[in-house]
Chains A and B, each alone.
Chain A
């Protein structure tokens, strides 16, 4: 973004290039990148998996359905194994392509729903992280660079947001927006629109991300190269874009994966409380909710999305650590 790739051969490696190089030398970061890539790829293939491998429709109830297992026709809803065989439980993990991880209480294929749910969970957490970085970057840069009354107002606003626990804040915002669909001018945002959780999650984490940016900008504002730019008669907006932003962007990039991990957890929590992704669409949070009632008989329904969340959050955190190590230019460039 900041360093234009030059076509001359004598050009030397820019800060981004050398950061990428050291990231590629970091094995744990690479491994986490691979895990993330694999999960994203699998989720992208969700429709293909459902139609051509599992041969199921994960969005319709299939309580009365049967599948053929080892040449035998088997009910999806099966009698419980308790002595009196009271009630029905969905089929457990089959070990076959169809209903690989079993079914939920509505007889839907968990594996297929897991992949579809991953699409929503990852899309929401990624978009929320990006949106949050944009908003937090803007707020942090404006507050830090202009200081004075602007800084005070923005900081107090963030304090107020920060004073409310993140999850409570997100929950209350979600309940309001989901119960009464949002009308913004001519646009109506329905309750099942993914924009609602994206915007809410991004918003509640703005104070978290804006604070370090503001601190960095305050330090940069006093940096001698900013004084030098003022001395050259560079307008303030240009100093922000050309001198401040490139130096803050590393802070933002490092925060990205961590923010996405937090957004994923928040999204799952909201969906688990059925105020995030709305049925029949799935997310890892809603699948855990589906598995809640089956936790004693069919624990896999809740465990599978739980493991997926853990894997992604862990990978994102390790990636974030790797990015921080790779992008810490202050250490490498000052060495003489």
Chain B
């Protein structure tokens, strides 16, 4: 499923009038946390991208690069410091919660910690019914108990859990099953956009594949749009149509999955792809990245990556590279992209 890429650039964000409307558009979003002694932490540092309906955008990066914060900002679980978030073309950046609430039916989230995101004192049926009780049916009426029961049955089938699970408590399930429950809850209101915040990173590898497959199946079956956050390229490769690579709060490379994973232009992306273990005997081992990820409080000047970059030039220490298009649908924030 490939959609035309009318990706906005940081400089020019206007969509041509004939282009389809992106489901989600993020324009120059910053999220800053004030620290003590006048310091601040820019968790998200000027991010722009858009996601077309039916697309799966994989958001990858090391832990602490701001991808989860960005994910929560997209759904207004955190307020952004500046910038704009457009959902279905509507600016939701500063909508009050009351106005936002009806929109929440169409944008949902699956969290990383499958246990912590389910209230341990409520039965699964009760947990899944909550969104259905809170929101009115599409025709504006309150949902009846029987329609809720009917929907719960559908949801259990959708995520391949037995109906008896509805009567049980979260602690009675395994991690994979609980993540299925979380997915069912996110899908209860038939959303268009699902932000998945590292939904499989806390699971066993064998279970990871099942859950990723479930995500992929549901995406095809229901025509969903995902922003799929992960730190594992293998997971992203399996499900994404496009990939955005984040480093220290900013997107450094954005493009089709194949392009980003096989023809990466940013040295950081290249280092990430080479860090994936190859199941080939005698596969050459590339030198991993040197050094630690710098503190997001004291970000390096110029290109954020220059402290660890194998191809660093003098200019990288002073000039901040902007995200620019190097080929159709492929954007890189690097002065000297590898072509």
Tell me, rounded to whole Å, the shortest Cβ–Cβ distance linking B302 to chain A.
36
Residues on B with beta carbons closer than 8 Å to the beta carbon of A73? none
Chain B, Cβ-Cβ closest to A236:
B97
- A242 touches B (CB below 8 Å): yes
Could you tell me which residues of chain B, from 66 to 118, have a CB within 8 Å of some CB in chain A?
Answer: 72, 75, 77, 100-102, 104-105, 108-109, 111, 113, 115-118
Q: Are the CB atoms of A231 and B104 closer together than 8 Å? A: yes
Residues on A with beta carbons closer than 8 Å to the beta carbon of B115? 334
Q: With the chains together, A230 CA to B101 CA distance in Å?
A: 9
Q: With the chains together, A333 CA to B167 CA distance in Å?
A: 16
Given the contacts A8-B167, A224-B111, A242-B130, A231 and B120 also touching, CB distance less than 8 Å? no
Q: With the chains together, A15 CA to B100 CA distance in Å?
A: 34
Chain B, Cβ-Cβ closest to A250:
B121
Given the contacts A6-B167, A227-B111, A234-B130, A247 and B135 also touching, CB distance less than 8 Å? no
Q: With the chains together, A329 CA to B170 CA distance in Å?
A: 12
Residues on A with beta carbons closer than 8 Å to the beta carbon of B101? 233, 235
Residues on A with beta carbons closer than 8 Å to the beta carbon of B189? 232
Q: Are the CB atoms of A10 and B164 closer together than 8 Å? A: yes
Contact of B117 among A224, A247, A334 (CB under 8 A): A224
Contact of B168 among A2, A12, A243 (CB under 8 A): A12
Q: With the chains together, A6 CA to B169 CA distance in Å?
A: 13
Chain A, Cβ-Cβ closest to B173:
A336
Q: Are the CB atoms of A228 and B122 closer together than 8 Å? A: no
- A146 touches B (CB below 8 Å): no
- The total of interchain contacts (Cβ-Cβ below 8 angstroms) comes to 89
Q: With the chains together, A12 CA to B135 CA distance in Å?
A: 28
Q: Are the CB atoms of A238 and B120 closer together than 8 Å? A: no
- B172 touches A (CB below 8 Å): yes
- B192 touches A (CB below 8 Å): no
Q: Are the CB atoms of A15 and B109 closer together than 8 Å? A: no
Residues on B with beta carbons closer than 8 Å to the beta carbon of A333? 120, 169-171
Q: Are the CB atoms of A243 and B123 closer together than 8 Å? A: no
Q: With the chains together, A224 CA to B170 CA distance in Å?
A: 14
Q: Are the CB atoms of B131 and A243 closer together than 8 Å? A: no
Chain B, Cβ-Cβ closest to A229:
B130
- B231 touches A (CB below 8 Å): no
Q: Are the CB atoms of B167 and A10 closer together than 8 Å? A: yes
Q: With the chains together, A172 CA to B130 CA distance in Å?
A: 48
- A14 touches B (CB below 8 Å): yes
Could you tell me which residues of chain A, from 240 to 263, have a CB within 8 Å of some CB in chain B?
Answer: 242-243, 246-247
Could you tell me which residues of chain B, from 138 to 192, have a CB within 8 Å of some CB in chain A?
Answer: 164, 167-172, 174-175, 182, 185, 189
Tell me, rounded to whole Å, the shortest Cβ–Cβ distance linking B73 to chain A.
12
Given the contacts A3-B121, A234-B130, A246-B121, A227 and B171 also touching, CB distance less than 8 Å? no
Q: Are the CB atoms of B167 and A224 closer together than 8 Å? A: no
Chain A, Cβ-Cβ closest to B104:
A233
Tell me, rounded to whole Å, the shortest Cβ–Cβ distance linking B326 to chain A.
36
- A48 touches B (CB below 8 Å): no
- A11 touches B (CB below 8 Å): yes
- A223 touches B (CB below 8 Å): yes
Given the contacts A231-B109, A234-B131, A12 and B172 also touching, CB distance less than 8 Å? yes
Q: Are the CB atoms of B77 and A225 closer together than 8 Å? A: no
Contact of B134 among A8, A225, A234 (CB under 8 A): A234
Residues on A with beta carbons closer than 8 Å to the beta carbon of B104? 231-233
Chain B, Cβ-Cβ closest to A234:
B134
Contact of B169 among A12, A229, A232, A238 (CB under 8 A): A12
Q: Are the CB atoms of B117 and A228 closer together than 8 Å? A: yes
| Binary interface encoding of chain B residues 18-48 relative to chain A, with 1 for a CB under 8 A from any of its CBs, else 0 | 0000000000000000000000000000000
Q: Are the CB atoms of A232 and B117 closer together than 8 Å? A: no
Central interface residue in A2, A11, A246, by most chain B CB within 10 Å: A11
Given the contacts A6-B167, A227-B77, A232-B104, A247 and B134 also touching, CB distance less than 8 Å? no
- B213 touches A (CB below 8 Å): no
Tell me, rounded to whole Å, the shortest Cβ–Cβ distance linking B7 to chain A.
26
Contact of B113 among A224, A233, A242 (CB under 8 A): A224
Chain A, Cβ-Cβ closest to B78:
A227
Residues on A with beta carbons closer than 8 Å to the beta carbon of B135? 233
Q: With the chains together, A8 CA to B167 CA distance in Å?
A: 9
Q: Are the CB atoms of A228 and B109 closer together than 8 Å? A: yes
- B119 touches A (CB below 8 Å): yes
Q: With the chains together, A234 CA to B119 CA distance in Å?
A: 14
Residues on A with beta carbons closer than 8 Å to the beta carbon of B113? 224
Given the contacts A225-B119, A247-B119, A334 and B171 also touching, CB distance less than 8 Å? yes
Given the contacts A2-B121, A223-B116, A224-B113, A11 and B171 also touching, CB distance less than 8 Å? no
Q: Are the CB atoms of A233 and B174 closer together than 8 Å? A: no
Chain B, Cβ-Cβ closest to A335:
B171
Could you jot down 10 A-B contacts, CB within 8 Å? A10-B164, A14-B121, A224-B111, A225-B118, A228-B182, A233-B105, A238-B134, A247-B119, A333-B169, A333-B170
